[in-house]
Amino acid sequence: MKTYMFPGQGSQSKGMGASLFDKFADLTEKADQILGYSIKALCLCDERNELNNTQFTQPALYVVNALSYFDKLQNDHTEPDYAIGHSLGEFNALLAAGCYDFDTGLQLVKKRGELMSQAPQGAMAAILNASKSEIESILEFHGLNNVDLANYNTPSQIVISGAQAEIIQAQQHFEDAGAIYYPLNTSGAFHSRFMQPASELFFDYLQGFTFSQPRFPVISNVTARPYESEDIVKNLCEQLKSCVYWSDGIEYLLNLNRDNGIPMDFEEIGHGEVLTKLLRTIKNKVPITEKSTSTESDPNKSNAATNTLIIDWNNQHPIGTKVNSIHAQFQQLETRSPAKALSENNAVVYMKGYYGYFSLDELIFE
């Protein structure tokens, strides 16, 4: 079985889609008409430094993801058995499943980006090396009641979102607990209760569209289970203010693999390898079935997986390798150490100019 994964915000970079715009000239022209600007110029040149602004990022990623998918279909001529997308990428998963056409999806994403860019001031931060329950306990213990879990990316990479003052205050508490804390460069508290007004406006906007039953299952960020056709409007609106349960969705697909006895292959469709790296971490860290033993409760298994990751990294990437972080504020990095195990489930590497370490699962190549 095959699952296609579509990346979301944070995977963008200048130059993405370079081989696709001319190949799909008709769709590129349609995109320009809907957006009112050249999508090709935005992605390849970004002369006005807009690519990292939410209202431009989301249409750009949607178009590149969509063209990448159409290119894949031309080469393979077969649809996947399942699709899943991370936040914005979920719109591409629904497109691939035939819930709407390219033009409709781009209109939805354009409106979504505009609404999110107008969201009330807030902040977000990524936390590494702390579990979901640990994060919730720290927030509760310190009275940070205006902070929500926004992205459950892996069991040890979780994003929080909420009131700016409390996100800033939270940093010291998490670092005191031994977690790695990365403030994210976002303009709002996305995927939190603070997106309620945007969610309501998006709901009103979606009333003007009709959606079809998915041709194959699409895993929802909100439920971590397949969409039903009647849930499309509800889930797309809920997604704006709800946690993205990415890790749970991937675990659901992995469990299908075990239950059916048929190998599940995952392929990232779009720009970059953010989701591919998250997938590798999830496979190493989450319990796959109720009968299996989790890597966290089996030190020998987790050590073996981490050691294999470290050996593969060091064989392929010598000191001085140029990488980027999946987090926008840490870019153009250069390694200053080989990879090593910080703990039984965490492989890390150190960077020139930075005191702290970076987990291998948060790095992508330039």
**Count of other CB atoms within 10 angstroms of residue 309:** 19
Which residue shows structure tokens 């081989």?
A: 19
> How do the residues of the chain divide into helix, strand and coil, expressed in percent and rounded to 5?
45, 20, 35
Cβ neighbours for 144, distance < 8 A, ≥ 6 positions apart? 138, 162, 166, 169, 170, 173
Cβ atoms of 266 and 356 within 8 Å: the answer is no
Provide the pairing of β-strand 147-154 with 157-162.
antiparallel
How is residue 52 annotated by DSSP? T
Which candidate in 68, 87, 156, 247 is catalytic?
87
Question: Which residues make Cβ contacts (< 8 Å) with residue 1, sequence separation at least 6?
Answer: 81, 82, 256, 257, 260, 262, 263, 264, 265
C-alpha closest to that of 82 among 285, 210, 252:
252
173 is catalytic: no
Structure letter (DSSP) for residue 335 = B
**Residue 174 backbone phi and psi in degrees, to 5:** -75, -40
Catalytic residue among 11, 156, 161, 191: 191
Which tokens is 87 given?
Answer: 């936040």
Active site residue 191: yes
CB 117 within 8 A of CB 54: yes
φ/ψ of 11, rounded to 5, equals -95, -5
Q: Quick one: which of 243, 263, 271, 253 has its CA closest to 92?
A: 271
Would you name the residues annotated as active-site residues? 87, 191
